[in-house]
Structure 1
Amino acid sequence: MQYKDIIADEFGVSVWPKSHERTGYYEIIGIREGRGIHTARGAELPFKSGDLFFSRPGDSNTFTVYEPTHFLRLRFTIPYVSKQPLTVLPENWNTWMDRFLTLPDRNNGSLLQIQSDRTLAIQLLQAIVNEYSGDHKLRQQVIFQLFTSLILLIWRNSGLIIDSEELSQAKDVRKEDLTSYIEQNIYEPKKLTLNAMGTHFQYSAGHMGIVFKKKTGKSLSTFVQDYRYDLIEKRLKYSRLSMKQIASEFGFTDESHLNKFVRSKTGLNPSEIRMDH
């Protein structure tokens, strides 16, 4: 299958389409209106109007819709962000874009925290969709300028811009410090984000992601979900807690979401793991 370098569309649904696929594409999804649960790589977080999510090719990325939701979707490839003339690119574009595409945990919740940026990002994404579906002159140039503005907003919110002064002044941290922090806060998901950990260890969110991957060999979200599963597996094998109790302990909204998480890690249902022991 041959891919276009960029595709933009929008759709309103009451149920997330099972046919949704992104093979070969990076993807940014904005929520113009609606609410529900966003599931990515085993992590479940609520979504609402103004949220923005990012996923890489091959990522598992679904939405459980609680009320009719209008999605704005932008798909793009590596060639799209790398083939543009240098004269039209912001300074350090290639370096920053590489960080954006490879830094872990980009889809571990909405990309935007600043309220005014949330509104502006949805407007930019809507403008990209409108331009893509139109046939105006300079259409591709306008789309790329809107795209760079959207990425700049994401950088501003996510701490991806790391200057040399920060790199030289930030304190060093041991792997044991990182794993201990996660073990102590595994039941408090709000403390297991790059922003929260960065505040604790005196790093920006972007630098925290780089340090964590370097020290542990895994992204923060992968490490947390692996450790979370290890604890759940022990509950299933060695405790008499009900599925409902285990789901509640680990912050799942119900047993079905616990089942989905365990199946994503093992291919088995929780009851099968319990029966095998």
Structure 2
Amino acid sequence: MKLIQFEALFIRDFSTELWPFPLHSHNHFELMYIRKGRGVHILNGKKSNYFSDSVFFLLPEDEHDFQIEEETHFSVIKFLPGILKGGINTNNTDFWDNFLHGLARKLKLNYETPIPAFQLEKLRSVIEVLILDWRQRGEKTGELHTHLLRSILLILNNSFEDNKEKDILRLGDSFIDRIQNYIHAYICYPDKLSVKELSEVFKMSESGLRITFRKKMGIPLREYIHSLKTQLIKERIVNSSSTFSEIARDFGFTDPSHFHRFFVHHTGYTPMFYRKENLISNL
């Protein structure tokens, strides 16, 4: 089941003993803060326990469900990515497209790691202001809520900061976890993902790296990188208003023609056709 939202920003705040929705995905991003309660969150088939002060951040393609064990208070912010760009210099709007996917990955990697207390206090305070003002406005959203949403996202990102290479390499217990984390972190930087560069970072021979990755993942290293990049580009094409030149630049292609050839080779479609077809199917 897919839930479709047309509002650029939608806020809900409620307590319940029974989750009111079936397993579903949606066409928007969704940030969920658990004020109090206990239960199980099922995200893309993976179960994790939740408690008071748990936070989940969902991408449009994520599927999720809740099994509530104790009455739970949810504060939910659903939004389309374009709302984050209003009032920002257009040269910087692509920041948010990359930021949202990076934040979702950080939270999924750290779902068992508590948010640091000082960051949690800030997060809780901003969410409370957002909900209070939303109620005072008759449960209608406004410009203030957009600014508060940006603040919430930035606080969350700072809670699990992993921009430094040494921090990325610490995430995960195994070699395959660490290399996947590294690839996801640098997917927009082709020079960082050459076999030569990866072999130096992970202190393995190039042939050893290829063999180990394929044995563990069942897919060649280069194919994995291209598949991930293709999927992220698809999401960007459908869920943003970025031009193809902007997308090409942000994913490290030498020029728009290089981007066009890559996308056609890996999907069988031109970027323009893919955007039109998917926008139509989501109407």
Q: Does 1:105 align with 2:105?
A: yes
Matched, 1:143 2:145: yes
Unmatched runs of 5 consecutive residues or more in structure 2: 194-220, 229-283
2:51 pairs with one of 48, 52, 61: 48
Give 2:26's aligned residue: 23
Distance 1:179 1:31, change over 3 A: closer
Cα 1:2–1:25, aligned 2, differ >3 Å: closer, same or farther?
closer
Displacement after TM superposition at 1:120 (Å): 2.5
Map 1:232-251 onto structure 2 (within 5 A).
none
Alignment partner, residue 132 of structure 2: 130
Rounded to whole Å, the distance in 1 between the matches of 2:42 and 2:13 is: 20
Cα distance in 1 for residues equivalent to 2:96 and 2:114 = 17
CA–CA distance in 2 between the matches of 1:47 and 1:172?
Answer: 25
Contact 1:31 1:71 in 2 (8 A): yes
CA displacement at 1:58 relative to structure 2: 3.0
1:35 equivalenced with 2:38 (yes/no): yes
Q: CA deviation at 1:133?
A: 3.0
Q: For the residues of structure 1 that align with 2:168 and 2:41, how far apart are their CA atoms?
A: 34
1:110-259 to 2 correspondences below 5 Å:
113-135=115-137, 140-159=142-161, 162=163, 166=164, 181-182=175-176, 197=178, 209-211=184-186, 216-217=224-225
In the TM superposition, residue 135 of structure 1 has moved relative to its aligned partner by: 2.4
CA separation of 1:159 and 1:96: change in aligned 2, threshold 3 A: farther
Q: Deviations over 1:219-274 (max 9, x none)?
A: 7xxxxxxxxxxxxxxxxxxxxxxxxxxxxxxxxxxxxxxxxxxxxxxxxxxxxxxx
In the aligned structure 2, how far is the partner of 1:42 from the partner of 1:2? Answer: 23
Residue correspondences, number: 185
Q: Which amino acid aligns with 2:185?
A: I
Match of 1:69 in 2: 72
Q: Match of 1:209, as an amino acid?
A: H
- In 1: Cα distance, 2:60 partner to 2:9 partner: 14
2-side partners of 1:50 and 1:171: how far apart?
24
Task: Answer whether contact 1:53 1:111 (CA < 8 A) is retained.
Answer: no
Work out the CA distance in 2 between the residues paired with 1:29 and 1:121. Answer: 12
RMSD: 3.9
What do residues 113-142 of structure 1 show as CA deviations (whole Å, max 9, x unaligned)?
Answer: 212222321332232222223329xx7232
CA distance in 1, matches of 2:168, 2:35: 41
What residue is the counterpart of 2:17 in the other structure? 14
Structure 1: runs of 5 or more not aligned: 183-191, 220-277
What one-letter code is carried by the residue in structure 2 that aligns with 1:41? Answer: N
- Alpha-carbon displacement from aligned partner over 1:77-120 (angstroms, at most 9, x marks no partner): 022112x1127x9xx96354222322363552278621222232
Q: Deviations for 1:161-188, whole angstroms, at most 9, x for unmatched residues? A: x4xxx56xx6999xxxx99624xxxxxx
4+ residue runs over 4 A deviation:
19-22, 170-173, 211-215
Distance in 2 separating the partners of 1:208 and 1:58: 20
Sort the Cα spacing of 1:93 and 1:111 in 2 relative to 1 into closer, same or farther, 3 A.
Answer: farther
Counterparts of 2:157 and 2:100, CA distance in 1: 11
C-alpha distance in structure 1 between counterparts of 2:168 and 2:116, whole Å = 29
1:22–1:140 CA distance, 2 compared to 1 (3 A): farther
> What is the letter of the counterpart of residue 97 of structure 1?
W
User: Which residue type is aligned with residue 210 of structure 1?
Assistant: A
Which stretch shifts more, 96-105 or 64-73?
96-105
Aligned residue for 1:8, secondary structure, equals: strand
Quote the Cα distance in structure 2 between the aligned partners of 1:124 and 1:131. Answer: 11
The TM-score with structure 2 as length reference comes to 0.54
For 1:58, the aligned partner's letter is E
Q: 8 Å contact 2:107–2:160 — kept in the other structure?
A: no
CA contact (8 A) 1:111 1:157 kept: no
Is the 8 Å Cα contact of residues 12 and 69 (structure 1) preserved in structure 2?
Answer: yes
